[in-house]
Chains A and B, each alone.
Chain A
Amino acid sequence: MNTIQRNMSLTGEPPKTINTQQKIATVIGMTGLFILLLATFNVDFPAKTLWLSIALGAINTGIIWFSIAAYRSKHAGIKNDGVYFKSISGRGYLAWVLGLALTGFYIVLYFYPQYLGLTREGDNTGLIALFDPLSYLLSGNPASQWFVYGTLYTIAILAFGVKFMLKYRHNRYERLRTLSVMFFQASFAFLIPEFMARLNSDSFSLPYYDLKNIWPLNYYNFEQYRVDSFISAGDIGLALLLFGIASIFIITPILTYKYGKRWYCSWVCGCGGLAETAGDPFRHLSDKRMIAWKIERWVVHSVLVFVIVMTTAVVHSYLGEDASKYWLTKDVFLLSVGVFLTLLFLGIWFFKRKELEKDARYGAIGYLTIILILIGMHFTAGKTLFLFDAETLRSSYGFLIGAIFSGVIGTGFYPIFGNRVWCRFGCPMAAVLGLQQRLFSRFRITTNGGQCISCGNCSTYCEMGIDVKAYAQKGENIVRASCVGCGICSAVCPRGVLKLENGPLEGRIQGNEILLGNDVDLMKYVNKN
């Protein structure tokens, strides 16, 4: 009677297609995108301000209306019905189309901005020209491909942020942290740098600076042109430069100690912001296997080593040799980097060796690599490091990590690999925060006694690919370097087993052979062994 082949892993049929309101909303949103597409193909819009407003307005309206139509009539609660059956979220046809479209967009954006209408001499054309009015309004300058991207990026976070908040309207943690990323994106990443650009004049110029974008995520922060212009911009510039340094060496450690890396990764960061909002429908696609975890640790820490070496080489390349001119010479700099890393490494080794076990070996390898390279830098004259010069390092980092990894793969492949591929495998900032979170932070996810039923919801919906249930079913706190504290594992758990908490360092990581609920004497007997 039933001739359809039914395969258990992907059987179900979508409960229902989208409702009428959602269809209308889709049309409106698509119209907005279509206008942008027309502009890309050089259709000339006479009243640019009007058409740009219509396009952006339509995209916003489309997304928000769609979300309201999707969730308003439903009960507050978890909304994962049919996630694996839908083409878009189940790696179906739509997912591939979207993935390819996004990837294509990133390739054009990074490598062929001329197709978007970027013109070296003279006025912009095409899509970029359409954004000129907004750019003039904000910064007083014509638009660039980055301005177009920044605007669309911000809209995505804001509109899909509204969607996310509707979806999780029963969960105050989720709502608040989404408001937070929306705020940081709209102000720090988008508006403030544009306004800052207004301050620039012939005699005063600050580089584009998103204050919440911290080195090493902001890998170019200490490049010569930026440092030069910070310094030449007087007190404000110097303050910004110092803030950049303090962000990574003072602010970050303190906040990460108190709250875990989530303060950044899921409350502030723009990459995290996009992943959590526009990327939310794809969070279950992350790979949970042990092998993925192994690859993750190698890759993300290699990127960290790469960025440290690259930045050191770049700074090294523009410092002077003569201590009488300026105290910070090439050698002083290399030595201080070396001393800093040595102290850091010894400190970790001394205090945390027990907890690290195997990881300590990897740490040692990374550390040794960097130190050897530093020595290499010292002995290779001038601008070259072994065979590469600092500039080559910088540009290959920018190309491989900054463009390909974070953009093309990280975002373009949301519908295929999940929404946090970049954050998990590629982001050096996440690596730094993660090391600290694992070793020296009050944050952990606690488990509720013996209540876990090993259902797997938590692991499935962990965007970082953490096998949360492996811990929960052992009654062990989850203290993982990669956890961004998104709180979704806790939200989707049907038995109320997981809670994100900040608490004392003592006893933060401990497991139980026998879970709560059994004979107390047996628990004591077994668990102490």
Chain B
Amino acid sequence: MEHIVIIGNGIAGVTAARHIRKLSDKKITLISAETDYFFSRTALMYVYMGHMRWEDIKPYEDYFWEKNRLELRRGYVKSIVPKETTLLFDDGSHMTYDQLIIASGSTTNTFGWEGLELEGVQGLVTKEDLEALEKNAPNKKVCPHAVIVGGGLIGVELAEMLRTRDIEVTMLVREKAFWTSVLPHVEGALLSQHIQSHGVKIIHETNLDRILGDSNGRVRGVVVKESQEEITCNLVGITTGVKPNISFLEGSGIETDKGILVNRKLETNVPNIYAIGDCAQQRDPIGNRAAVEAVWYTGRMMGEVVAQTICGKETAYNPGHWFNSAKFFDIEFQTYGWVQPSSKRKDYETQFHWKHQDHTKFITLAYDKNEGTFLGINTFGIRMKHEVFDRWLTEDRSIDYVMDHLKEANFDPEFYAHYEHEIRSAFKNKTVTA
């Protein structure tokens, strides 16, 4: 029986395994160094915040794996020997495969700052990080003050986590407002405001210079690059993005750049080896998408696709319209299509912004100012339907059409106040800002 081995039991690897099982009877093994069972990485924060226990963030009950004949192997793959179609584990054991899927995910990205090795300096990506946080910041007595480096999705989650234990948080954000490497400035500014209202101190336009330690090798503070100011703290959260987890591939002959290089069929340069999820890098980026897409959804989509190929129906990774979502403290965010930050905006893209007076609901619609075609939407505090926007994007609807039909896309709970009318009349009154 053909043996499919998958390195990584995250969303990408597990989705691939599930679909291969649906399509075939092949022997499937999922390997992970991190945990025995698949868990939702996106839910790590809720365990620390006391919303859920560890077992609650496992998407499948433990019986699921045996029932579906998915073999689980806990262990770290030290290296791959493609010539012998063999994996070597760090405990000295080995495993052979017929087809190999690498879904090894990401690790914390750092910029080689001085002091990274100190105790109390950590990222938030793995279960180990969560356990470290529980040790480094169990409460405000042990950890009165934390500094978070980087204003992105993981950074704001870490801030929210620490605030639930009343720990003072300072965030160093490189840009003028929160996450403006992705969001239009107006939105970033509103988010900064909201995050600050939760007692987080944000210092904009600053970078980390170095981390300071005490004589026990514990962190005692950081120095900000711009002002050379010193901030005392007991925890430094490094949340300056993630990078593919590929160090174990050195010397295997598998071509890598930032991530594992794959073609549209998700094949690496070595036959019978595929890469999916956070660790994969498209040789040729697809549309506006980044070459390395480190989000849950794309991991899942690649898993769905690679399973087809492995089971005999060669399929290219051909994702549909871009979408994503997040939550910033109390503000939910969804996006469909492309709304570009100023750094990436093409001249034909115009944006219309609307915000509710309470500043917890705001949306941006992007459209082509020449053709009037709708390009995408960012929606904060108002839930909208994925299917509807996906359809409108496929149908190349105009911005006017979208404005007139916005109500169809609303996905807020019943009885919620509606703002479509207000949004539409604001738009018609040409309070358009670029």
Cβ of A11 within 8 Å of any chain B Cβ, yes or no, is yes
The complex places the Cα of A499 from the Cα of B47 at a distance, in Å, of 25
* Residues on A with beta carbons closer than 8 Å to the beta carbon of B332: 494-496
Q: Inside 8 A of B165's CB, which chain A residues have their CB?
A: 12-13, 15
User: Would you call A496 and B54 a contact (CB within 8 A)?
Assistant: no
Q: Which residue of B lies closest to A14 (CB)?
A: B50
Q: In the complex, A419 Cα to B308 Cα: how many Å?
A: 44
Closest chain A residue to B19, Cβ basis? A513
Please indicate the chain A residues that have their CB under 8 angstroms from the CB of B315 in the complex.
519, 522
Is A235 in contact with chain B by the CB < 8 A criterion? no
Q: Mark A271-292, 1 if CB is under 8 A from B, else 0.
A: 0000000000000000001100
Residue pair B61, A11 in contact (C-beta under 8 Å)? no
Among A81, A451, A514, A516, the residue within 8 A (CB) of B51 is A81
| B55 within 8 Å of A (CB atoms) | yes
Interface members, chain A 407-445 (any B CB < 8 Å): none
Q: Which residues of A contact B383 (CB under 8 A)?
A: 448, 496, 499
How far does the alpha carbon of A84 sit from the alpha carbon of B54 in the complex, in Å? 11
B228: interface (CB < 8 Å): no
| Complex Cα spacing A78 to B142, Å | 27
Beta-carbon contact of B329 and A491 below 8 Å: no
Q: Which residues of B contact A459 (CB under 8 A)?
A: 56
Interface string of A1-27 (1 = CB under 8 A from B): 010101011111111100000000000
Tell me the complex Cα distance, A520–B305, Å: 12
- Among the listed B59, B317, B329, which residue makes an inter-chain contact with A473, where contact means beta carbons less than 8 Å apart? B59
B402-429 at interface with A (beta carbon < 8 Å): 411-417
**Contact assessment for A448 and B413 in the assembled complex, using a CB-CB cutoff below 8 Å:** no
- A85 vs B165: C-alpha distance in the bound complex, in angstroms? 11
Per-residue 0/1 for B305-335: is the Cβ within 8 Å of any A Cβ (1 yes, 0 no)?
1001000000111111101011101101010
Tell yes or no: B139 within 8 A of A by CB. Answer: yes
What is the minimal beta-carbon distance from A510 to any residue of chain B, in angstroms? Answer: 13
Q: Bound state CA distance, A10 and B53, in angstroms?
A: 7
Q: Which residue of A lies closest to B319 (CB)?
A: A518
A513 with B22, Cβ < 8 A, contacts A10-B53, A15-B166, A81-B164 known: yes
Residues of chain B within 8 A of A82, CB atoms compared: 49-50, 164
List chain A residues, Cβ under 8 A from B384: 496
- Min CB distance A431 to B, Å, is 25
Are A496's CB and B325's CB within 8 A? yes
A78 and B323 alpha carbons, distance in the complex (Å):
24
Interface assignment of A39: CB less than 8 Å from any CB of chain B: no
Specify the chain B residue showing the minimal Cβ separation from A522.
B315
Q: How many residues does chain A have at the interface if contact means C-beta atoms less than 8 Å apart?
A: 64
Q: Is the CB of B166 within 8 A of A522?
A: no
**Size of B's binding interface in residues, CB under 8 A:** 70
Residues of chain A within 8 A (CB-CB) of B326 are: 495
How many residue pairs bridge A and B at CB < 8 Å? 197
Q: How far is the CB of B48 from chain A (nearest CB, A)?
A: 6
Q: Which residues in B have their C-beta under 8 angstroms from that of A83?
A: 50-51
Interface segment, one of A170-178, A189-197, A199-207 = A170-178
Inter-subunit contact A290/B319 (CB<8 Å): no
Whole-angstrom distance between the alpha carbons of A176 and B315 in the complex?
A: 49
B414 and A500 contacting across the interface, CB-CB below 8 Å: yes
B90 within 8 A of A: no
B381 CB → nearest A CB, Å: 10
Q: Which of B377-412 contact A (CB under 8 A)?
A: 383-387, 390, 394, 411-412
Contact status B59-A454, CB under 8 Å: yes
In the complex the two chains form, is A81's CB within 8 Å of B49's CB?
Answer: yes
Of B73-81, B183-191, B293-301, which binds chain A? B293-301
Asked whether A519 and B305 contact (CB < 8 A) given A80-B51, A81-B164, A454-B11, the answer is: yes
- Known contacts being A13-B165, A454-B40, A457-B46, is A517 close to B323, with CB within 8 Å? yes
The interface residues of chain A lying within 8 Å CB-to-CB of B357 are none
- Chain B CB within 8 A of A76 CB: yes
A527 to chain B minimum Cβ distance, whole angstroms, is 11
Min CB distance, A378 to chain B, in Å? 46
CB-contact partner of A77 in B54, B56, B135, B330, under 8 A: B330
B residues contacting A by CB (< 8 A) are 11, 19, 22, 40, 42-43, 46-59, 61, 63, 130-131, 134-135, 138-139, 142, 164-166, 197-198, 296-297, 300-301, 304-305, 308, 315-321, 323, 325-327, 329-330, 332, 334, 383-387, 390, 394, 411-417
- List 14 additional contacts besides A460-B56, A515-B301; criterion CB under 8 Å: A84-B50, A454-B40, A454-B43, A487-B413, A490-B413, A499-B411, A499-B413, A501-B414, A513-B19, A518-B318, A518-B320, A519-B316, A519-B319, A520-B320
A-B contact pairs, 26 of them (CB 8 A): A6-B131, A8-B54, A12-B48, A12-B50, A13-B138, A15-B164, A75-B197, A173-B414, A176-B415, A290-B63, A451-B386, A453-B43, A453-B325, A455-B40, A455-B43, A456-B58, A457-B52, A495-B334, A496-B411, A499-B414, A500-B413, A501-B414, A516-B386, A517-B323, A518-B318, A522-B308
